[in-house]
Amino acid sequence: MRHLDDFTVDYFAVGEDSQRFLDMMREFEKREKKTFSIANNVYFGRLHVGVYIVEEEENPALVLWMVLHGEESVDAMLENGMNFGQTARFEELDLVRTFKNVKASLVSADQIDSDFPMIITGPDSVICFVDFEEVKALNRDELSKIIVREYVKKLFGVEKDFTIRTDDMSIF
C-alpha cells in the first residue's frame, strides 16, 4: 500500500434541490441575524481526503482502532517514527516492533466495504483505498467526484452527481 494524495474537496449536488436548500438556509440566517455552520449533508459540504493505492493482492477488510498507553508510547513513536501505509505480515510491521513493550487496548474493529474501500474517520474526513490501474488515468477532480459520490452514498444512502472544487493543501 502506498500513499497517493491528501486534499480537501468542496462539493455541491447538481440540481434545484441543492440550490433551494442553500437559499433557504441563507434566508434563515438573514431572518435570525445569525451565521450557522452547517455540517456535511447530501446537498453540499467539505471533505478532507487521504488516498492510498492498494496492490492487487491487498484487499482492505478491517480497520482496527487501538489506544497505546503511557508516555513510553509517545517516546517510542518519537524515537522510531511511524511508517504509515507499510504492508507486511502483522508480526513484521515496524508498528509492532516499535510498540511491542507498550500497553495497548483494542477499542474498535470495523469492516471495510469491499465495493469502494473507505474509512470515514470523522464527520468530514475519509481515507480511501484505490486500485492504481483504476485511477491512473483520472485527474484529482475526477477522483474527487467518485470519492464524494461514494461518501454521500455511504453516509446518507443517496446517489447524486456533484460539482466539486479541490484544494491542493494537504490536511494530514
Whole-model pTM: value is 0.80
The CATH number of domain 1-61+117-172, selected from 3.90.1000, 2.60.60, 3.90.1580, 3.30.457: 3.90.1000
Indicate the domain borders of the chain: 1-61+117-172, 66-111
- Kindly tell me if the per-residue pLDDT of 82 is higher than 60: yes
123 torsion bin: left (phi>0), alpha (psi -120 to 50), beta (else): alpha
Burial grade of 88 (CB within 10 A; 0-12, 13-18, 19 or more):
exposed
CA dihedral angle for residue 50, residue 56, residue 61, residue 64, rounded to 10 degrees: -50
Mean pLDDT across 144-169: 91
* Residues 7-59: tens digit of each pLDDT: 999 999 998 888 898 899 889 999 999 988 889 999 999 999 999 999 878 88
Q: What is the pLDDT of residue 55?
A: 84
Task: Convert the pLDDT of each residue in 159-169 to its tens digit.
Answer: 999 999 998 65
